[in-house]
Structure 1
Amino acid sequence: MVFSITGIAQSTKKQMSKLIQDEFQFADKQYRYLIKNIPQDKMPQSYNISAGKVISREITWWCSGFYPGSLWMIYEQIKDPEIRKEAERTLALIEPNKTFTRDHDLGFMMLSSFGNAYRITKDPKYKDIILTSAGSLSTRFCPGMQAILSWGKMADFKGPVIIDNMMNLEMLNWASQNGGDKKYQEIAIAHANTTMKNHFRADYSSYHVIDYNINTGEVLGKKTFQGYSDSSAWARGQGWALYGYTMMYRFTKDQKYLDQARNIAGFILNNPALPEDKIPYWDFNDPKIPEVPRDASAAAIMASAFLELGQYTKAKEKQRYIDTARQILISLSGEKYQSEPGENGGFLLKHSTGGLPLNSEIDVPLIYADYYFLEALKRYKDWYLL
């Protein structure tokens, strides 16, 4: 077998090139269908199979940026004017979020959407919106605990910081490196360091929620909100951690972030609960495995993160990350995980799990699963097929 300079067999490159092309063509058709099934003032979130209707959320819901972001990535590959028109319409709808400060999700909302729009169009108005959004997110930084507060006070938490918050640091880093205040990246670094100190166990699995005294930084509790138990490894949380520290290395080139990402990758890849098709169960420690739901969204996030981690590593380690991501993409594009044309309201993927302990979004399509699946396809094409 003849290998290219990237270490991927030519036959595999041909296979993946066709798969990626087919998947974006499929996404274009599915999202044309999805466009017809959503209200004009909300963002699509999931699909109620029994009711046969798309579930949509208000624009301040944390997932509001994933639909326009997905549209922009589809447009980038297919150049479908109907898709671009919808992308631009939904950007205008969520633009008011740029001053939203009630939780930590501004990065999800505004970089996933306006970030892709700016990357593709270079329209300066999109950049300005991202910079304003970064300023809004920065107001949630608590100097006493050296972290961004995820939520407000709740019955069970005084100063909750969730592992998901690592993802929102990307917008702060980007803003500082693209004309915004340098303090944004300083906040991102402080938050990443605090999270590295307190969120991880000896095996590099992550707790979901660390509860802090926001004035002193004292850790009050290490808990979960969406995982099986306080001590379990909630699958999507491990994906957020892997992606977050890989991204932090991209912006800072600080070796400790790369080392952290590699250690998190080791926990995932060496875990005996990881299925052969690489689509994880919703929590690595659910004692009822394998009779529990999978989480396609966690798999998509991990695939995208593994592809970036492969950019910063070498030899067998690099190849393992690429091979794992490729297996995930092949699995997700197969009949087990992918919707049939016109199925599930127009969403791409099936079998994601939002919050099982909350009895919420179990074994359903989810908009962010589609988003990170498309991002992983794009990354594979851009980095490993050229």
Structure 2
Amino acid sequence: MNIKQILTVAITITTLSSCTQKLHFQKEVSHAETQTKLMLQEIPKAENNGGSLVSPRTLENGELKLVASKDWTSGFFPGQLWYLYELTKNDKWKQEAIKYTAFIEQEKTNGKTHDMGFKVYCSFGNAYRLTKNVHDKEVIMQAAKTLATRYNPKVGAIRSWDHNADKWDFPVIIDNMLNLELLFEATKLSGDSSFYKIAVNHANTTLKNHFRKDFSTWHVIGYNPETGAVEKKNTHQGYSDASAWARGQAWAIYGYTLCYRYTKNPVYLKQAQNVASFILNHKNLPEDLVPYWDFDAPNIPNEPRDASAAAVIASGLLELSTYTSFSNEYLEKANRILIYLTSKYRFKEGEGKGFILNHSTGSKPHNGEIDVPLSYADYYYLEALTRSNRLKNKQTVIQ
């Protein structure tokens, strides 16, 4: 056996060894609790603009950055608290979750944004899922009604941004797929099929126009609001219009998986699998399965990673595994992502002002939030941890 063959065998053994590691579930939950307790101590110390800032988003120059309820990330920390309550059954986390969720309620009538699912469903959606509180249901329904006002029947989709009017007449971003959960759930809760129809139409329009032949996705599609015609295909956060922005791919796999959950339309399941195949078989996906911020970034391997994309992918794969014949492959990949996130991308206890994961990338083209913790990385990490544990215990992936 020559040197090259020996090295190949050694690398293979190392890789297999890392794949066969197991998540130390209680240890990871304990770490998340410790960090979140620290976060709760740090929030009152952070600059708060007269008390208008309600949720942690990231670190800027080592300092905790809080955001107002209108920020698209505001619902993630309340959702994180709800997941800790689900994972531990500790009433302390429930009470903190109720407190921070209440800060988001005013967003239920904010029709200036498409991010209603991220804000309201990650907070009030998880609250209702775990407690069945009637008021939480009422907030969900009002939020769904507000989101529905952004739907354009000519386009067949929900408008994403109101800003950037100089670039797009009617922009729709791939991220918007995750806001459909709020609409699907509103129909489930009320019996009003109008929300379901809007969600399906949006998913179908996105399926038709957002994907390339290899199942990578454009970030932004610009439509003509009068005719519904596609005017532009661009990126806003990826490397280039033709590149595959990592978190965009993550939103796509997660989004079409949740669409299949509510509709059982095999077209959505197939699309989720196609996107999963693109991600998992991509030549630029690192060994630890935590992607670079863009699969086509020019300086790989010297590009920032995006742990938030990895967490979203892991959570999506865990649910996807319950619907397909590729369940073992998806489970193995998802758990491997979680293992690497906990071993390489996690803050040590007492560090990071209470964030759990480090090394995420918000928007590199705008030089914003590069190689930092992000609240949505922690949220989807805990969601994935919850889903992994439920599947291990022979339970449904979502309670």
TM-score under structure 2 length normalisation: 0.90
CA contact (8 A) 2:21 2:339 kept: no
Supply the AA of the counterpart residue of 1:183: S
Count of residue pairs brought into register by the alignment: 368
2:341 corresponding residue in structure 1: 332
Among candidates 279, 298, 319, match of residue 309 of structure 2: 298
Query: What is the CA-CA distance between 1:152 and the residue it aligns to?
Result: 1.4
Q: Taking structure 1 as reference, are residues 26 and 322 closer, same or farther at Cα in structure 2, changes over 3 Å only?
A: same
2:4 corresponding residue in structure 1: none
Query: What is the CA-CA distance between 1:79 and the residue it aligns to?
Result: 3.1
2:7 corresponding residue in structure 1: none
Among candidates 74, 77, 90, match of residue 67 of structure 1: 77
1:28 corresponding residue in structure 2: 33
- How large is the RMSD of aligned CA atoms in angstroms? 1.4
For structure 2, the 5+ residue unaligned runs are 1-18, 45-50, 395-399
Query: What is the CA-CA distance between 1:80 and the residue it aligns to?
Result: 3.3
Supply the AA of the counterpart residue of 1:47: L
Tell me whether 1:147 sits opposite 2:152 in the alignment.
no
1:356 corresponding residue in structure 2: 364
Supply the AA of the counterpart residue of 1:301: V
Tell me whether 1:259 sits opposite 2:266 in the alignment.
no
Ranges of 4+ aligned residues in structure 1 off by more than 4 Å: none
Tell me whether 1:89 sits opposite 2:96 in the alignment.
no
Tell me whether 1:134 sits opposite 2:144 in the alignment.
yes
Among candidates 37, 41, 53, match of residue 42 of structure 2: 37
Q: What is the alpha-carbon distance in structure 2 between the residues aligned to residue 174 and residue 14 of structure 1?
A: 36
Q: What is the alpha-carbon distance in structure 1 between the residues aligned to residue 72 and residue 386 of structure 2?
A: 23
SS of residue matched to 1:37: helix
Query: What is the CA-CA distance between 1:347 and the residue it aligns to?
Result: 0.3
CA contact (8 A) 2:22 2:339 kept: no
1:4 corresponding residue in structure 2: none
SS of residue matched to 2:231: strand
Q: What is the alpha-carbon distance in structure 2 between the residues aligned to residue 299 and residue 114 of structure 1?
A: 24
CA contact (8 A) 1:301 1:372 kept: yes
TM-score under structure 1 length normalisation: 0.93
Tell me whether 1:242 sits opposite 2:253 in the alignment.
yes
SS of residue matched to 2:301: coil
Tell me whether 1:227 sits opposite 2:238 in the alignment.
yes
Q: What is the alpha-carbon distance in structure 2 between the residues aligned to residue 38 and residue 64 of structure 1?
A: 13
CA contact (8 A) 1:297 1:352 kept: yes
Residues 70-129 of structure 1 show CA distances to partners (whole Å, capped at 9, x for unaligned) of: 001101222333322221111111111111111100000011111111111111111111
CA contact (8 A) 1:32 1:83 kept: no
CA contact (8 A) 2:121 2:182 kept: yes
1:121 corresponding residue in structure 2: 131
CA contact (8 A) 1:28 1:78 kept: no
Supply the AA of the counterpart residue of 2:129: R
CA contact (8 A) 1:28 1:83 kept: no
Q: What is the alpha-carbon distance in structure 2 between the residues aligned to residue 240 and residue 229 of structure 1?
A: 18
For structure 1, the 5+ residue unaligned runs are 1-11
Query: What is the CA-CA distance between 1:14 and the residue it aligns to?
Result: 9.5
Tell me whether 1:375 sits opposite 2:364 in the alignment.
no
